[in-house]
Each structure stands twice: as C-alpha cells, then as structure tokens.
Chain A
Amino acid sequence: MEFSTNKSELLRELNLTQGVVEKKTTIPILSNLLLEFEGSALRISATDLELGLRCNCPAKVKAEGAGTVPAKRLLEIVRSLPEAEVRFKVLENHWVQVNCERASFKLVGMARDNFPVLPAIPKAVAALPAGVLSALIQKTIFAISSEESRYTLNGALLLLKPESIAMVATDGHRLALVEHEAKVAGISNELRALIPKKAMGELQRLLAETPEDAKLDFSKDESHLFFSLAERVLISRMLSGQFPNYEAVLPRENNRVVELDKDSVTAAIRRVALLADERSRAIRIQVEKDRFDVFSSSGEYGEAHETLDAQYAGDPLQIGFNYQYLLDFLSVVGDGGKVRFELKDEQSAGQLRPSGEETYRYRYVIMPMRI
C-alpha cells in the first residue's frame, strides 16, 4: 500500500478540499481525507455530510490501497515540502507515512471503513459551460440568505431550459437574477435545482481552476446534485423546500429610469456610506432632472451628500436603500460601463441592471428601506 505523487499537483488538489472538510466536527472522521490509490491515480475525498468533493491526482502506485489522514495536517505538511516527489505508505494501525526527500512524517490515521461513502454519480443530465456557470454564481451568490430559519433561501435556484441557463438568489430583501441564452445540451424541459450556498462557493473554487470553455457535467439523484469537472466531482445535498415565486416580485412598471456611470456611482455610494447609520445602513437617494443625489446621516457621526450627473427625465423621487445591497451589486456588475436604476416610487422595489450588457441578462431587485 504505497504510492508517490508530485508535490505541486498534490497541493493543488489538497487546497481544493479544505473548504469541504468539516472544521468543528463532532465526528472525527470528517476532519480526515480519504486517500485511495489504484491504477495510476490517487483519489482524494472529503465530506462534511452536506457536501462532498472527490479529486484525482496522477500517482505512481506501487501497491494499491487506501487510508485516511487529518486534512489540515496533511495540507500543512505538503505545503511545507520542497518541490519534489512525495511518497505515501499506509502502515499498521492505519498510520500513514509521508516522505519527501529527507523529511519523514508519520500521521495518525483512521480506518477507511469509517469514512462515509459518497453517493455514486448518476448519468449526466446536462453539460454546462464552465465560464457561464462561474459568472452566474458570481452574480448571485452574495444575495443568498445566511439566516438558517429561512432555509429555502439558503441557496440559489439553478434553472436550466433548452435555450437558456439562469440562476436566482434572494435573502428576502433583495434578489439577483441572471440569465444567459445558450443551448443547454441534454435539456428538453425545464429543470430546477436549489443549490446550497456552501456548494456554490466550492463550485466557484473548482471553476476557477478550470478553463472557461470547459464543460461541466451536471447530474442529480433524488437528494443530491453532482457537478463533474474533468477529474473532480462536487456532490451536494439538494435543498428541499419551495424556492419563492421570484417572478412575482420582478418589477414591471418601473418607469423612472436613471442611467449612471457605474464607477462614479459606486465611488459616491462608498463615500456617502461612511456616515450612514451603522445599524440600518440606510442611505437616501434623490433623483431629479439629470441629477442623482446620495445622502446619509448618522446620529452619532454626522451626514454626507454627493451629487452625480445622470440621465433622467422623469418626476423627482426620493428613495432609501441599504447601501450594502447596492454595493454588492455594483461590485459584480462588470467593469466600467453604465448602470440603470429603474424605480417606481419610494415604497416599491427598485431594479438595477447594467446598461446594454447582452451576454448576460442581469437584473437585481431591491426593496427600498423606509427612512
């Protein structure tokens, strides 16, 4: 039971597993990685029971076998090693020996039988373009709720249609919806899947290691979602429950449209937010002919105001927003260019979207604050 592998390749895979390994677990085996070596590869598995990740790494296998080792220790050890071949050997009592050049480590392991069995991957239902999926995640993940009581909002909804792929997330105060038109191979009807926030984050890490034009195989069984990218597969428990009817909250009559330079409005909101009330994070926006004003005031520290040029021809309007919600959107909407604020009145949800972006139909809906 012995194999060797290249340090940097191993380190890259170990890095990917760290987010999945349970940190504060009461089940010790979940802090370990499962190492399985057979044929010409090392297979590394990690899970916290909600999420599982399996990676592969080329290896020279002398004698097939498997073992489990503490994930964090192994990462720290491998990270400290010189660029050289790393040799593994499973000892008695499940200990694992790691050698590299003249360094040697013996790690306390646990029996591989204790490691949870990850579900088998069913046949792929769709092939998703990696670059698109990554963009979808980036444009929605921040709007997912972290409030555990609203568990159906603890994830984003992936919507696959024959001609489009879309993702929606909301925390109950704002909603991000992004659609991309593309033929999705394998989809003949609409397919919906609720992906937990943590899975979205881990998926994003995997996608960052993948060329944009690569395809990701997506599949699901009754309770799991599977994302396969070349030699890696991420398995997530599916969120049960009904995602809210998001279409009902998409504004339809927001006729007061202000067009602004994205970078200027972002900078202005950042500045004015410095004196916003810290608890509510409220800022006030006032639009009038070709003018966009941002105000804040904090009982403790004072007040701030900035005026921006804008394209606007409608009636004047004042509206309050949580500045963090605005900045969340503005920081992912894309470089440069213009954004549109589409408003109705001070009580109705406002819609923000990039002006003229065509690759992605991106809309961000925010409920105004009462101020």
Chain B
Amino acid sequence: MAQSPDHPIPQILHVDMDAFFVSVEELENPLLKGKAVIVGADPDGRGVVAAASYEARKYGVHSAMPTRTAKKLCPHAIFLRGHHEKYSHYSHKIYDIFSEFTPVVEMVSIDEAYLDLTGCERLHGSAFRAADRLIRAIKERTELNCSVGLSTSHLVSKIASDQAKPHGLLYVLPGYEAQFLAPLPVRRMPGIGKVTEPDLLSRGIVTIGDLAAVGREKLQQWFGKYGEWLYAKSQGRDIEAYQYSEEPKSISHETTFDVDTDNAEELERTLSYLSQLVAGRLRDHRLFARTVGLKLRYASFRTLTRDVTLEEPTHLDSVIFENILRLFENAWNRKQKIRLLGVRTSNLEHGSFQPGLLEAPQKDRLERVMQTTDKLRERFGFDAVQLARSLEPGSQAPPRKKRKFLGRE
C-alpha cells in the first residue's frame, strides 16, 4: 500500500484499560494490590461480575459471570460493590489524555476507546510511537495500565489490544491483517457469537483463517449478506463506516433483583432509577425517544413487554418514569413476584419535532433541572441527584446498598 496525502493509511488505535474498575479500587486502597478482587454484585445475590483483577482471573473468573459462580471459583476473593462515580472520574481523565493525541476519539464504554490517528504523523511521528507515548502518559498521569492495539482497522485493533493484555502494545503492520487474524478462533471475532459459532464449527471452520479460506462466494451462499460481512471481517476490514455515525437504535437498562420481590415501593423505586439512567444516556447522545417500553420478568421467567408511544419525544427522567409507571401498573398482576425490571426507549430521534407551547414553561424548568443534574452527576456520580421516587422511604441518601451494580453496558 503506497501512502499518498490524499489516501493516508488508516491508523486506528484501540485502547482498553486493564481491569479498570479493580485498578481504580486499588489506587484508592493499595492493600488490594496483588489480591483477587472482584467488582460486581453481591456474591450471595444474583448479579454479575463487572470486573476482576488478574489474580482473580487466574481462577477462571471473568466479567459478566454470575458473582455466585465467581465466589465458588475463587472463594477467598475480595468482593466490592463498585463506585461508579470514581470510575467515571478516571474515565474523564483518560479521555482528556486521548484528546491530546487526536480529535477523533470514540469512547465505546467507560474504559475503552478508539482513537483515529490517521494523518497525525507530522504531529506525533509514527502512530506506533504515538501509541507508546499514550500508554506512558496514561500511566504517569493516572497510575493506570492499559493495553493498546494498533492497525488499519477498528476490528483488528480491538482484537490486537486484547492479545496485548495486560499492559502491552501490539502493532499489526498494514497488509498483515489477515495473517494476524488467521490463527485465531472464530469466536474472537466481534459479531460472531453463540449462534454463528456452532454453525461455523459444524462446517469445519475453526479459525478466522478457515473463514477467509472458504471465500466470499461460499460464505455469501451460506449466510447471504451476513456472509459478505464475515468475509470482509476475516480480511481484517471494517465494512461499515465504523461507529462514528452509528447511533443507538434503542437505549435501555434493566436490573435483576437480588431476591424476587412484590414490594410495590421497591419496584417503583427501581423503575424510577432505571428511568433516570435511560434518560441520562439519551441526553448524552442528544437523542429524544418517542417510544418508552417496560420489560417485566416474573419469578416464573414469564416475561412481558409493554410499549407506549409519546405525543412528543422526550429525554426527561420524569416523563419517562411517568409513562413507565403507568405501563407497569397496568402490566403487573400483583400476584406474582418479580425477578427483573427493564426500561427501554426506542424510536430515537434527533428531533425535528414540535414541542408543546402550553407545557413549555414547566418543561423549560425541567430541562434546566436536568442540565444541572447532569453536571452534578458528572462530578459526584450518578447517585448524587435522584428523583424522589428513587429514594427509600425515610432515607436521606440514595438507595446505594440495595441497588445492584449495573456493570458495563
């Protein structure tokens, strides 16, 4: 590939913080260092692991695993409930460092980002050196470790950063993408999951190299459009203009109760809390939702969903909560205990829409309240400001103890 000023070779960096939540906890409490630490839900309850230290991972603990299982695997581990506000504080610090390297930073989650260094050679020298400097800068200024993958595509960089862990840098040279991917099992490819993997294995395709060898035509025959996508991925190419323009089609949060419940107040509090999480993310994305939906799972695992379409799209906590509560009151039979509740918003729009005039004075106040809330939450964490309905009766403080840590999104 020849480099020309018009078509510079893409240089995509994927940065993934090493055991982020655990590392942040260790900074605050150095005694945790070198120990098996697990951040996540109550190990006697039903939630999942949000992060595990490398010590704990030696016992087979990994994120998204039920904490109960983790406790069985690693009974001596230190279990922490997590401090989201601390993590977002560090996440912001890291973001600031990223921004010094390139204006094109895409945080895909609290501890993970893509940086586009394409065409930044004059500024930083080679992308490889820039990546090295970035790792050092993060270490110096936050004392946190990260792993970095560098290549010509988001896909390859993401896999490379994973290979580089912990605290490593892996550079896949332009033109060597397919070669790098070839020996990896197909499951390592983002987008190949529980459904596709068995299908591929049954066809004798075990590695990404096998996938490439099958060729585009065959894959297309087998999987249609998805086959084409698989082939491009096996070559290490991003097909869609990556996530820059990709917008969420829906935003939702759900929570499983530690213990099934039919306590109306607790259920309401949870819905209020989830509504706030969802509304906050809508505002982050500068989106408005026209449809608000409830998910309700009974102890029996019977699951209901209910939707309502609003006259005017919204990103306000209280509006989402009002509608969710109405859906919930109509949906819940009040006889059975509930295992899980979820709030989902869809039909998202940037809104050219017509807000109401008569509600305007009141909406205006709400908007201002929410702007202030978002600022406070940025500084002091999500729990700093709450709708009154999210609070436990008689309490001054938000219901942190009861609330399951929601972990990575």
Nearest residue in B to A283 (C-beta to C-beta)? B352
User: Are A172 and B356 closer than 8 Å at their CB atoms?
Assistant: yes
For the complex, give the distance between the alpha carbons of A295 and B353 in Å: 16
Residues of B within 8 A of A244 (CB): 358
Report if B1 contacts A (CB, 8 A). no
Residues of B within 8 A of A366 (CB): 357
The total number of A-B Cβ pairs within 8 Å is 48
Residues of B within 8 A of A371 (CB): 351-352
User: Are B352 and A320 closer than 8 Å at their CB atoms?
Assistant: yes
Contact string against B for A residues 262-305, beta-carbon threshold 8 Å, 1 for contact and 0 otherwise: 00000000000000010010100000000000000000000000
Residues A172 and B351 in contact in the complex (CB < 8 Å), given A347-B364, A348-B364: no
Contact string against A for B residues 323-360, beta-carbon threshold 8 Å, 1 for contact and 0 otherwise: 00000000000000000000000000001111111101
Report if A42 contacts B (CB, 8 A). no
B356: contacting residue among A173, A322, A348, A365, CB under 8 A: A173
For the complex, give the distance between the alpha carbons of A368 and B352 in Å: 10
For the complex, give the distance between the alpha carbons of A320 and B353 in Å: 10
User: Are A367 and B352 closer than 8 Å at their CB atoms?
Assistant: no
Listed residue (B351, B352, B361, B364) with the most chain A CB atoms within 10 angstroms of its CB: B352
Chain A interface size band reads 20 to 34
Chain B interface size band reads 10 to 19
Question: Closest CB-CB distance, B164 to chain A, in whole Å?
Answer: 43
Report if A123 contacts B (CB, 8 A). no
User: Are A172 and B358 closer than 8 Å at their CB atoms?
Assistant: yes
For the complex, give the distance between the alpha carbons of A320 and B361 in Å: 18
Nearest residue in B to A322 (C-beta to C-beta)? B354
Report if A248 contacts B (CB, 8 A). yes
Question: Closest CB-CB distance, B249 to chain A, in whole Å?
Answer: 18
Report if A175 contacts B (CB, 8 A). yes
User: Are A248 and B352 closer than 8 Å at their CB atoms?
Assistant: no
Report if A349 contacts B (CB, 8 A). yes
Report if A89 contacts B (CB, 8 A). no
For the complex, give the distance between the alpha carbons of A317 and B119 in Å: 35
Question: Could you list some 26 contacts between A and B, CB below 8 A?
Answer: A170-B357, A172-B356, A173-B356, A174-B357, A244-B358, A248-B361, A249-B358, A249-B360, A249-B361, A277-B352, A280-B353, A280-B354, A282-B352, A320-B352, A347-B364, A347-B367, A348-B360, A348-B364, A349-B357, A349-B360, A367-B354, A367-B356, A369-B352, A369-B353, A371-B351, A371-B352
Give the interface of B toward A (CB within 8 A). 288, 351-358, 360-361, 364, 367
Given contacts A170-B357, A172-B356, A366-B357, 5 further A-B contacts (CB under 8 A): A248-B361, A347-B364, A367-B356, A369-B354, A370-B351
